[in-house]
Amino acid sequence: MAERLGVGIIGSGFMTRFHIQSWRAVRHADITAICSRNAQTARDAADMCRRLRVGEPRIYQDVREMVRDPRVDAVWVVAPNYTRVETVERICEEVLSKRAALRGICIEKPLARNVSEAKQVVKMVEETGLLHGYLENQVFSPLVTRGREILWRRGAAIAGPPYLARCSEEHSGPHRAWFWSGQLQGGGALSDMMCHSVKSSRLFLTKPGASRDYLKPLAVTGRIASLKWTRPEYIRQLKETMGQEIDYSRHPVEDYAYGEIVYETAEGQTVIAQTSTSWSYVGPGLRLSFEVLGPEYSLMSNSLDPESQVFFSRRVHGPEGEDLVEKQAAEQGLLPYLWDEAGVYGYTDENRHMVESFLDGVQPIEDLYDGLRVVELVMACYMSAELNKTLAFPVAGIDDFIPQVAQGTWDPRSLIP
């Protein structure tokens, strides 16, 4: 495979850096462009590409101009949620007008802020005929893919398929102010992160080689709460660190969410996915945990139980940072570290798969239809939480549903019926 793919990345924030780091293990592709409204972070991202020798990207502020660059064969959309529809619209206009010749487009999780926007994105990309991928890194994480392969090959083949998957992602809160805004981000911790756990649990319960319709959602139950960030001292902290416009005394969003999805398999068996997510977790850093139960077997995995740890006594004083693990919360004591976060979290295998799929001219195994289904399930969790009841799936009215947290009208006290 001598041909190389030129990739332009739209966005220059935190997740873009993970994509760039992963590119050291992605063959047959170079990062040829970075597009961002923030000139400084765009320069930083481009410098990182050069330092890691994964590309010599040109910097753009205009999406249309970037996709017209003949060195850009495919686009990774890693821009903020509130710009998603506008960004995809501009890309698709350039492709349909023949001013841009792209092979494919990949869009970061979550696909959109709500079902209506997600369907707009899917429709626009469908009209271009482009190959498309959904950038859900956790379903490419070796913690997930290797564990799933072992369970189904050794456990399910003898004792029967798994019937319960529990997946969770937790940390202390996002880096950028727009994540904390329900209107800009589309919600809170549920919208931001449960997309990971919904997709990972679904993958664990899906028979290898089966279609995306192997699991049929039957019922969804959701619960949201603000456990930490609406306490007075943390309302003040958010204003100080994220800006006065992030005021959780007036417009809070959830910092904890739980969802339960009941599925029916293609063989007619009932299986359950339990998902949880949190911005109120205080620990060494980002924690990804997975648990799967089957008739005579189980799986347990925790990203904060790595192969290695370091210890620093109280005499060691250093600057705050995230050099050991994402969302690192301490610089002293017994601390876990990940030797390759981009690989552990799934970015490396995700990007390798997308590149190889586009070069081979085939649709990636994770595409925008998968992203749309995740948004539908996440919005069903929000609606269930607001109504305080389990909802049958598909959910009536979900296409036009906007969560209260995204409207700025949610009252955390509504946790009690």
Largest CA distance in the chain: 63
Q: Does position 244 have pLDDT exceeding 70, yes or no?
A: yes
> Given the structure tokens 């802020």, which residue do they identify?
113
pLDDT for the residue 72: 98
pLDDT given for residue 325 in this prediction: 74
Q: Which two tokens stand for residue 92?
A: 């698709």
The tokens for 390 are: 């389990």
Give the pLDDT band of residue 417 (cuts 50, 70, 90): low
Vertex 379, ends 347 and 36: CA angle to 5°? 45
Percent of the chain topping pLDDT 90: 86
| 31-40, 54-63, 328-337, 349-358: range with lowest mean pLDDT | 328-337
pLDDT confidence of residue 335: 78
In the prediction, which pLDDT does 333 show? Answer: 78
Q: Which fold has domain 139-347+374-415?
A: Dihydrodipicolinate Reductase; domain 2 (3.30.360)
Question: Does residue 412 have a pLDDT over 90?
Answer: yes
pLDDT of residue 130: 98
Q: What is the predicted pLDDT for the residue at 337?
A: 76
Helices (H), 38-112: 39-52, 63-67, 84-96
Inter-axis angle of helices 347-360 and 14-22, to 10 degrees?
70
pLDDT at residue number 1 = 43
Q: How confident is the model at residue 315 (pLDDT cuts 50, 70, 90)?
A: confident
Percent of residues in the chain assigned helix, strand, coil, to nearest 5: 40, 20, 40
Residue 58 has pLDDT above 70, yes or no: yes
- Is it the case that residue 332 has pLDDT exceeding 90? no
Q: Tell me the mean pLDDT in the region 182-203.
A: 97
Are 12 and 38 in contact by the 8 Å Cβ rule? The answer is: yes
Segment 49-71 shows an average pLDDT of: 98
Lowest mean pLDDT across 25-29, 261-265, 301-305, 337-341: 337-341
DSSP string, 165-178: EEEEEE-S--SSGG
The CATH code for residues 5-109 is 3.40.50.720
Min mean pLDDT across 379-383, 395-399, 410-414 is at 410-414
Instruction: Give the model's pLDDT for residue 120.
Output: 98
Beta-bridge partner residues of 75: 8, 105
Break the chain into its structural domains and give their ranges: 5-109, 139-347+374-415
pLDDT tens figures, 248-276: 999 999 999 999 999 999 999 999 999 99
